Chain A
Amino acid sequence: AQTVTQSQPEMSVQEAETVTLSCTYDTSENNYYLFWYKQPPSRQMILVIRQEAYKQQNATENRFSVNFQKAAKSFSLKISDSQLGDTAMYFCARPDNNAGNMLTFGGGTRLMVKP
């Protein structure tokens, strides 16, 4: 089975500072997508950022960026200028192309942004 691992169950950061959330995964495929989702207390799953494995350039979305290391199977999320509204659970996920493109999720990282 495909696995996705998030090694940091909880993290905290001061408002306006930068924080990095880690994610590693396994795969035998060469081309695939990777995702970071945010889940605030409302429990809605919100897409933060998406990376295509064949693209060398790291994806960025405003204050959110990734460090994608394909050979190392690492996909970390960097949040710059952290805001109180960034407080949430964050999940790393990747599709399994051999199982209906089902998403496999990591266990999540609970991020607390402190004022």
Chain B
Amino acid sequence: DAGITQSPRHKVTETGTPVTLRCHQTENHRYMYWYRQDPGHGLRLIHYSYGVKDTDKGEVSDGYSVSRSKTEDFLLTLESATSSQTSVYFCAISKEGGYGYTFGSGTRLTVV
């Protein structure tokens, strides 16, 4: 969507390797989020950020870490990928107040 991009769009990686997904925004929004989407579960929050260097855990944070060194970038890292982390990952951004959210196009990650 306009103002937010995710990279890569697809990735296949081997079990045990580190993986970093990038979310980049041009909207200067305060909040950024990483979700994963699995069949039957909808989207579940992994981590979120409420400012530069300010992050917190979500519902399914085990095995993931994040960093936000600039307003525009929010990185999601799988330190040692496992097959259970095969999923579609979405980044989202929002302003204050929970009024509106913009989603990236998603990254399909396959861990073999």
Contact = CB atoms under 8 A, between A and B. Distances in A.
The judgment on whether A and B are partners is yes
A26 B85 CA distance: 29
Interface stretch (B20-28, B63-71, B72-80, B93-101): B93-101
A9 to B, nearest CB: 8
A106 B98 contact: no
Interface string A5-25: 010010000000000000000
Nearest to B51: A100
Given A43-B88, A91-B43, A101 B94 contact: yes
Instruction: Categorize the interface residue count of chain B.
Output: 20 to 34
Interface of B: prevailing SS: strand
Given A45-B90, A101-B97, A106 B42 contact: yes
Nearest to A95: B98
A43 B105 contact: yes
In this complex, the interface size class of chain A, counting residues with CB under 8 Å from chain B, is: 20 to 34
Nearest to A45: B103
Best-surrounded residue of B48, B88, B101 (most CB of chain A within 10 A): B101
A108 B42 contact: yes
Interface in A74-115: 91, 93, 95, 97, 99-108
Contacts of B62: none
Nearest to B55: A100
Most buried by A among B33, B44, B58, B98: B98
Contacts of A33: 98-99
Given A1-B59, A44-B1, A45-B90, A103 B101 contact: yes
29 contacts: A1-B59, A6-B42, A9-B40, A43-B105, A43-B106, A44-B1, A44-B103, A45-B103, A47-B101, A50-B100, A91-B43, A93-B43, A95-B98, A99-B56, A99-B58, A100-B31, A100-B50, A101-B94, A101-B96, A101-B97, A102-B45, A102-B58, A103-B43, A103-B92, A103-B101, A104-B45, A105-B44, A106-B42, A108-B42
Given A47-B101, A100-B49, 13 more contacts: A1-B59, A33-B98, A44-B103, A44-B105, A45-B92, A45-B103, A47-B100, A93-B43, A101-B96, A101-B97, A101-B98, A103-B33, A108-B42
